[in-house]
Amino acid sequence: MDIENPPGLIRRLAVMLYDGLLIIALFFVATIALLPFNQGEAFQPNSLAYSIYLLVVSFLFYGWFWTHGGQTLGLIAWKMHIVSESGQAITWKQALIRFFVAIFSWGILGLGLFWALFNSKKLTWHDIASKSHLEWKTPN
């Protein structure tokens, strides 16, 4: 896998900021959709079922965009996309690995993300584990 001019950490963080804002909005909509099943009551912050629900919503959001064009809104804004090592769209399995390794990576103070600073190809742990990477999107 030869990545020409890979995106750096600052751009990756910018993409995450854009997508983070979108995920927050999606969480509001997903919560509103679920409220009728909770008698209109607020969900408890320590609710395991609600946390798993939001995790699934997050994965479906990222998984869909990564496997269908390789771009979330943040990636579109920063003119990047996610591809497999062969340069093709990633699979749902790769998306699942990428998603959970990224969560783990953030869970240990972002170590897996900051790994890109020391990797010669600027790959993060979730890039390496999912056999995918970010690259610049060339105009069609």
Whether residue 78 contacts residue 135, with contact meaning beta carbons closer than 8 Å, is answered with no
Is residue 80, in this structure, part of any structural domain at all? yes
- Per residue in 76-123, pLDDT (tens digit) is 999 999 999 998 999 999 999 999 999 999 999 999 999 999 998 999
- Please compute, for residue 12, the number of CA atoms within 13 A of its CA located in the half-sphere on the CB side: 21
Range of the domain at 107: 9-136
- Residue entry with tokens 């909770």: 38
* Residue 139, phi then psi, degrees to nearest 5: -65, 145
**Predicted TM-score of the model (pTM):** 0.89
Is residue 3, in this structure, part of any structural domain at all? no
- Residue entry with tokens 């600052």: 10
Q: Give the distance, in angstroms, between the CA of residue 120 and the centroid of all CA atoms in the same chain.
A: 22
Is residue 2, in this structure, part of any structural domain at all? no
Is residue 4, in this structure, part of any structural domain at all? no
Domains: count for the chain: 1
Is residue 45, in this structure, part of any structural domain at all? yes
Is residue 17, in this structure, part of any structural domain at all? yes
140 pLDDT band (50/70/90 cuts)? low
Kindly state the tokens that stand for 53. 């629900």
Whether residue 137 contacts residue 11, with contact meaning beta carbons closer than 8 Å, is answered with no
Is residue 1, in this structure, part of any structural domain at all? no
Please choose, from the candidates 68, 92, 91, the residue with its C-alpha nearest in 3D space to the C-alpha of residue 81: 68
The pLDDT value recorded for residue 116 is 92
- Report the distance separating Cα 52 and Cα 96, nearest Å: 15
- Per residue in 3-23, pLDDT (tens digit) is 777 888 999 999 999 999 999
Kindly state the tokens that stand for 115. 């790994």
